[in-house]
Structure 1
Amino acid sequence: MEGRSSGIERNLEDGGSKALAPDEISHLALDIGGTLIKLVYFSRNDSWSVDDKGAKSPKGDSPLRVSCSNLDYPILYGRIHFAKFETSKVNECLEFIRSKKLLHGGRWHHEAPVSDKNGIKATGGGAYKFADLFKENLGLNLDKEDEMDCLVGGANFLLKAVHHEAFTYMDGQKEFVQIDHNDLYPYLLVNIGSGVSMLKVDGDGKFERVSGTNVGGGTFWGLGRLLTKCKSFDELLQLSHQGNNRVIDMLVGDIYGGMDYSKFGLASTTIASSFGKAISENKELEDYRPEDVARSLLRMISNNIGQISYLNALRFGLKRIFFGGFFIRGHAYTMDTISVAVHFWSKGEAKAMFLRHEGFLGALGAFMSYEKNNYDGLVVHQLVEQVSTSASYSGDKIHSSLAGDLNDNESIGCSVYTT
């Protein structure tokens, strides 16, 4: 399990494991996928001023950029927190919710648990599969929202509300992209979970699933587990850092005696056949280094997703492609491979763009559906830039993020008002 926070969550600051006070928590939402459970919840920050007629600055040194002086509703300030768990370890998610007292999070004043209302918002196939488990263990009803609606809702929300949300990544260079809200649509949203869904987004609530592939994050993790004996997705991803795919992949140069196939613009280093060298070598699986296998597998799947994504963008005349989902994990090599694939097949006309909060689109969409359904009157007014150092929570310890500032999805500050 990995949970993320950046300062409001005191149990992470002081290294302890105590829960936040119930009156600091509100509105829990879940995205329960085939591989991972993504969890989002809001916590109040009592060190920030609250005014029923307008916004005041927080007492600390992190400024809020809000303009809501004409609102007639109470304002609450705090952070939206993110956590994830392996779906196969759903009981860890249940314990996290119980230990942090998130089951009290459906009301602003918290006189009673949320189970006396419609329940907590949830999306993904697991919202159906594990509904009874949540009810039996926590007394929580899962109020189900459509998975694709939530993915698009979460993406639209982040692209409009977070200043530095989208970025490009190629050749080790990360560059933030400024999004013109008046020119956001249409775009292609490629969500890489266990499988891959490709959605053409034309506006708020206006989209269609135009394609997909069953070769996704579940493929990488499943094949990787069989081939390398890694025990977790992150272990497999870390292993790929140390590998050399050219030991296993057949390159153009391997076929052409080290030369380019220049007539068609194929460099000698271009992969002609993933895992192709394994055919011609008299070796068994144990003769190959696991890190080389992991690297080749990651390269194969990332290339494939990048190519299919561009072909669908070309099909609809879309220049803008956003990639999300926990397969990416802010992993530099994955992003670079996808970017190179899009650049190669588009001849430089299209760019792959990535999202800082890539894995939480569905969970955020479910969170935002409280507002859509006027659920306790929640309205998220504005998000504030995340400025703290990345950290991940495991037990009672804080660990550095694998990809540093590329994985800035610990928490995001926001202001909300209730009706």
Structure 2
Amino acid sequence: MTGDTYQADAAIEDGEVDGKNVATGRPRTMTSTTEIDSTIIHPGSVRINVKGAFIVDTPEEPGTPAGASGPGGSSYHETKDIRLPNHTAVISHIAVDIGGSLAKLVYFSREAHSTEPGGRLNFQSFETDRIDDCIEFMRHLKDKQLALNGSRPGELCVMATGGGSYKYYDRIRQRLGVDVLREDEMECLIIGLDFFITEIPREVFTYSETDPMHFASPSIDIYPYMLVNIGSGVSMLRVSGPRTYERVGGTSLGGGTLWGILSLLTPAESFDDMLDMAAHGDNSKVDMLVGDIYGTDYGKIGLKSTTIASSFGKVFRMKREAENEAEDMGGLSNGDDQNRRQQQSQSSEQTTTTSSAAAAAATSEPTQQQRPTSSRASEYARSRFSSADISRSLLYAISNNIGQIAYLQSQVHGLSRIYFGGSFIRGHPQTMNTLGYAIKFWSKGQKQAYFLRHEGYLGAVGAFLKHQPRNWGRRGSFETGDGLEERLRVRSEEAIAGS
């Protein structure tokens, strides 16, 4: 008997059919003992009832709980909520993954104004520099928890992971007055990814320019695989089974690098501003391409003329050319001549007893120091490079670097499936295309890059799933719940039987 049949039989015994009371026809508000037992998948964790789950692709519907914008407008609300039409159990916790750049929040809400049971997983992020806004939003969820998820005041707790779960632990506890349960960051990433791979339809996909979003279904055995989690920095994990993993590599050149450098070079005020500029930029105005060197493709080793030979490779040469043009157009006149006359006057006053030859030498020295670093020439040179072009060039540089390192690690460890997660990606086409192309190019098509529609929320969802309700362990259900491998095995047998 499958878990779904088991739940259906229990519902009929309780006087319910299709989630509704037989007598009244109203949506079910109570959770049966059988359903509680069947929602446990692993000791110390709670299973969300994902039967019929789907990603909400339409814009936010009226009545969806919790406003989209946080205090001060610093939050970013994902419109891709996950609808859970058959989950009726009360959920008394929220989860947050606090990284170096972003804090990612996941919470459950029942459908406001809906006559049907079920609810949603909601996703929201905040800049970590504004962590107080995130805490204030969690306080808002606490105040509204009865209306949002059915839990009573005092029952709410916070599941926290990431470095910020330690850094801001005391602040969250003091401001919210609730339990804060910290969970291991890497383990949460794996739990979250396994959940998305196996339980949420149309979540995992491959990307290319010719086929932008090709959805992938999980195989019978999803292990082993590699997770490349790109946040402020990059971690690469070899995953051989549920909660069985090893960090095999990484790089410090990640999302924080892009954000930091572009903050210095462009007027962008947020990571999304940088991605938007990169989408409109032309990296060929900044990067040195194979075609700039050879004048054509380098077909013998498989390089197209548009392949980047040197990131930012054109900058120095074009800067020199621009400075020379500025000088030819009088870049060292006007203000520079005035400065020279002032220096000559000051020098003559200070050296009245020196010879005219010595005075001339003294006045010529600052002119020679000043000439190569003319501010007018430098400004003219900088005007050659737009913020959009610089953004695209740096995005390509970092993405290519991550893609090649990921391929090399997958080669060393014999892994063909590579999943890319983390808030660096943000569904950005240029980023996904670069990462996917790097894996395909270096592996000669033997390895595949996979992406997720909720790529930045793996850790937060993993922490969410690790919550252990205090009153659910007394019936021995932790030992009887089936795990991820068992569910995949049952699905495989059902598929074979139905074919």
What's the TM-score, normalizing by structure 1? 0.75
Matches within 5 A, 1:346-361: 346-361=443-458
Letter in 2 for 1:337: T
Evaluate the alpha carbon distance shift between residue 259 and residue 137 of structure 1 in structure 2; reply closer, same or farther with a 3 A threshold: same
Partner of 1:170, secondary structure, is coil
Contact between 2:91 and 2:150, CA under 8 Å: does it hold in 1? no
**Counterpart amino acid of residue 205 in structure 1:** R
8 Å CA contact retained: 1:248, 1:276: yes
Aligned twin of 1:330? 427
Q: Distance in 1 between matches of 2:471 and 2:392?
A: 48
Give the aligned partner of residue 89 of structure 1.
130
Verify: 1:32 aligned to 2:98, yes or no. yes
Aligned to 1:179: 217
1:44 matches 2:77: no
The verdict on how the C-alpha distance between 1:375 and 1:357 changes in structure 2, with shifts beyond 3 A counting, is farther
- Alignment-derived partner of residue 364 in structure 1: 461
Alpha-carbon RMSD: 2.8
Tell me: CA distance 1:102–1:285, structure 2 relative to 1, closer, same or farther (3 Å): farther
Per the alignment, do residues 195 and 279 of structure 1 end up closer, same or farther by CA in structure 2, a change over 3 Å counting?
same
**Structure 2 counterpart of 1:273:** 310
| Counterpart position of 1:123 | 161
CA shift, 1:241, in A, is 1.2
Aligned to 2:37: none
Q: Which of 391, 400, 412 is the aligned partner of 1:294?
A: 391
How much does 1:358 deviate? 0.5
Q: Which amino acid aligns with 2:392?
A: R
Alignment of 1:175-324 (within 5 A): 175-256=213-294, 258-281=295-318, 282=320, 283=322, 284-324=381-421
Of stretches 182-191 and 278-287 in structure 1, the one that deviates more from structure 2 is: 278-287
Q: Which amino acid aligns with 2:232?
A: S
Contact map agreement 1:224 1:236 (CA 8 A) in 2: yes
Q: Would the aligned equivalents of 1:169 and 1:336 in 2 still touch at CA under 8 Å?
A: yes
Given residue 262 of structure 1, which amino acid in structure 2 is its aligned partner?
G
Instruction: After superposition, give the CA deviation of every residue in 1:90-147 in whole Å (9 maximum; x if it has no partner).
Output: 1111221223436848x975333247xxx41100000000111112222233210000
8 Å Cα contact 1:200-1:207 kept in structure 2:
yes
Structural mapping, 1:142-161, within 5 Å? 142-161=180-199
SS in structure 2 opposite 1:182? coil
Question: How far does residue 308 in structure 1 lie from its aligned partner after superposition?
Answer: 0.9
Distance, in Å, in 1 between the alignment partners of 2:92 and 2:207 is: 35
User: Following the alignment from structure 2 to structure 1, what is the Cα–Cα distance between the partners of residues 471 and 219?
Assistant: 28
Q: Cα 1:375–1:289, aligned 2, differ >3 Å: closer, same or farther?
A: farther
Aligned equivalents of 1:42, 1:208: Cα separation in 2: 31
Q: Which amino acid aligns with 1:91?
A: D
Distance 1:168 1:158 in 2: 14
| TM-fit CA distance, 1:9 | 1.7
Question: Distance between the aligned counterparts of 1:149 and 1:213, measured in 2?
Answer: 19
For the Cα contact (< 8 Å) 1:114–1:120, is it kept in 2?
A: no
Structure with the largest fraction of strand? 1
1:365 to partner: Cα distance: 0.3
The 1-side partners of 2:106 and 2:447 are apart by 32
Deviates more, 1:284-293 or 1:246-255: 284-293
| Separation in 2, partners of 1:262, 1:328 | 31
Query: Residues 225 and 377 from structure 1, CA distance in 2 versus in 1: closer, same or farther, beyond 3 angstroms?
Result: farther
Aligned counterparts of 1:233 and 1:172: Cα–Cα separation in 2: 27
Which residue does the alignment assign to 2:64?
9
**How many aligned positions are there?**
338
* 1:183 Cα deviation from its structure 2 partner: 2.0
Structure with the higher fraction of residues in helix conformation? 2
Q: Which residue of 1 aligns with 2:121?
A: 80
- Name the structure 2 match of 1:72: none
Superposition TM-score, scaled by structure 2 size: 0.63
The structure showing larger relative contact order (alpha-carbon pairs under 8 Å, at least 6 residues apart) is 1
- Identity value in percent: 47
Deviation at 1:151, TM superposition (A): 0.3
Aligned residue in 1 for 2:356: none
Rg comparison, structure with higher value:
2
Partner SS state of residue 174, structure 1: coil
Shift in alpha-carbon separation, 1:211–1:375, aligned structure 2, 3 A: farther
